[in-house]
Amino acid sequence: MNKKHTKLLAFDKNHVWHPYTSMSSPLPSYLVASAEGVHINLASGESLIDGMSSWWSVLHGYNHPKLNSALIEQSTKMSHVMFGGLTHQSAIDLCEKLIRLTPHGLDKVFLSDSGSVSVEVAMKMALQYWHSKQSENIAYKSKTKLLTVRNGYHGDTFAAMSVCDPVTGMHQIFEQVLMQSYFAPAPSIAFGQLWQAEETKALRQLFEQHHDELAAFIIEPIVQGTGGMRFYHPQYLKECRKLCDQYDVLLIVDEIATGFGRTGKLFACEWAEISPDIMCLGKTLTGGYITLAATLCTDDIANTISEGEAGCFMHGPTFMGNALACAVANASIDLLFENDWQQQVNTIEHQLTSLLMPLATHTRVKDTRVLGTIGAVECLQRVNVAHIQKRFVELGVWIRPFGKLIYIIPPLIINNEQLTTLVNAIATVLDEDDCFISNE
Ligand SMILES: *Cc1c(COP(=O)(O)O)cnc(C)c1O
């Protein structure tokens, strides 16, 4: 590490917030010089195989020539223009693609800046929908609450936080200001296990009791990501659709982590063959290049809101429809199909399954599971993040575990040899006591 790097890191440590770590005694940060393909290159010289896709967002690898040129080409026309009163081809092309690719019925697109904001938009749409609904049925106006399941994660802004798991989402800190939502137990039957009808009993009761107050039900489809990489039975999502229809509640599906092939389907909703009323997309939308999110909804929702009291939907971010972001999103979606994403995902799933399976019998391991490009090793003990991270870097990989979970979600372009290096690194740290915090 040279002097310049030491100085940069010292400033970073003293002044720059990083996610979910203390500012007074932060977890260490590693200085990155560049990234290319599946490699993250540290300023100190190590080249790490990326197992995280920069929090699920990278699909085709870093520094991709086609994505780079989409950005450059767009920037020579314009990087951004306001979306109020103006529009442009990159945004129009992207919305056309999203409507065509997502499940049937999602025909209106609202572009925004980040996943959390797209969830805010989805929730606001649901609330404004019921508020706008023309009817003698005055009860519609009281449909102002959200129902969700435990273990969920939907973002860090206030409305999104109100539907995150109350425990891991730390609701007690913000209790006084958070919207109060209803929580059903988390889905418990895993993907691939035998379905049992009792699974949705508690959920049904909540619909029965509270449907008069419920604007929407929100859920991550098939994979509860941040809540522990839990893969649940598609029938659960099917039942959610049925309950929403039966009780006149909108279904919001948060595909921010699962969208664009990650679970083996282009969208995880397809596992249950359902269409939601509102869908949120983010993370992989630009192939990991720039922040961009989208909230899609049905014609009915858009029309009802537009014909309601306000006459329009009350939201409009400054950087809505950012041209650079839309251009790179278009290029990333084109690449998915050029590269045959289904084949890429199936290959990774197959390789990950055979690589991770042997770890299932390790004394430190509670469960290993794979779905699409997501591989998870659930341990019996919590990891020591600072130490395990250091060990992973020494082993030439970038994997960032949380809680008891060591997981990988690599870019689609990863090959078998690189995947093997990732899994071997996990196998190595499982044997090291200092990588874990003892349970007492
Ligand atoms: C990451 C994530 C979000 C939040 O997206 P940001 O871009 O971080 O605001 C919301 N929902 C799910 C399911 C996510 O994985």
In this predicted structure, the answer to whether residue 168 has a pLDDT above a threshold of 90 is no
**Within this chain, do residues 75 and 157 fall inside the same structural domain, yes or no?**
yes
Total number of domains constituting the chain: 2
What is the extent of the structural domain holding 358?
A: 31-60+340-437
Residue 281 alpha carbon to ligand 1 centre in Å: 9
**Within this chain, do residues 51 and 171 fall inside the same structural domain, yes or no?**
no
- Among 304, 338, 372, give the residue marking a domain's end: 338
Q: Is 23 helix (H, G, I), strand (E, B) or coil?
A: coil
- Here the CATH number for the domain that contains residue 411 is 3.90.1150.10
Specify if 14 maps to a domain.
no
Specify if 372 maps to a domain.
yes
**Within this chain, do residues 133 and 227 fall inside the same structural domain, yes or no?**
yes
In this predicted structure, the answer to whether residue 272 has a pLDDT above a threshold of 80 is yes
**Within this chain, do residues 129 and 181 fall inside the same structural domain, yes or no?**
yes
- Here the CATH number for the domain that contains residue 175 is 3.40.640.10
**Within this chain, do residues 230 and 295 fall inside the same structural domain, yes or no?**
yes
Percent of the chain, pLDDT > 70?
Answer: 99
Does 153 qualify as catalytic in the annotation? yes
The mean pLDDT value for 191-202 works out to 98
Specify if 78 maps to a domain.
yes
Specify if 18 maps to a domain.
no
**Within this chain, do residues 158 and 44 fall inside the same structural domain, yes or no?**
no
Specify if 271 maps to a domain.
yes
Any residues with Cβ below 6 Å from ligand 1, and which?
114-116, 119, 153-155, 220, 225-226, 254, 256-257, 282-283
Q: Are 255 and 272 in contact (CB under 8 A)?
A: no
pTM higher than 0.85 for the full model? yes
Residue indicated by tokens 């920037």: 75
Q: Are 346 and 364 in contact (CB under 8 A)?
A: no
What pLDDT shows up at residue 136?
65
- Among 338, 360, 377, give the residue marking a domain's end: 338
What pLDDT shows up at residue 440?
65
Indicate the helix (H) or strand (E) that contains 272. none
**Within this chain, do residues 199 and 319 fall inside the same structural domain, yes or no?**
yes
Specify if 24 maps to a domain.
no
What pLDDT shows up at residue 134?
73
**Within this chain, do residues 288 and 156 fall inside the same structural domain, yes or no?**
yes
What pLDDT shows up at residue 139?
82
**Within this chain, do residues 323 and 374 fall inside the same structural domain, yes or no?**
no
Q: What is the Cα gyration radius of the chain?
A: 22
Which residue, 257, 263, 298, 304, is CA-closest to 280?
257
**Within this chain, do residues 242 and 325 fall inside the same structural domain, yes or no?**
yes
Residue 49 alpha carbon to ligand 1 centre in Å: 23
Does 254 qualify as catalytic in the annotation? yes
Confidence of residue 140 (pLDDT cuts 50, 70, 90): confident
**Within this chain, do residues 50 and 179 fall inside the same structural domain, yes or no?**
no
- Among 338, 366, 393, give the residue marking a domain's end: 338
**Within this chain, do residues 331 and 352 fall inside the same structural domain, yes or no?**
no
Average pLDDT of the chain to the nearest whole number? 96
In this predicted structure, the answer to whether residue 170 has a pLDDT above a threshold of 90 is no
Structure tokens that stand for 132 in this block: 């706008």
Burial of 297 (0-12, 13-18, 19+ CB in 10 A): buried
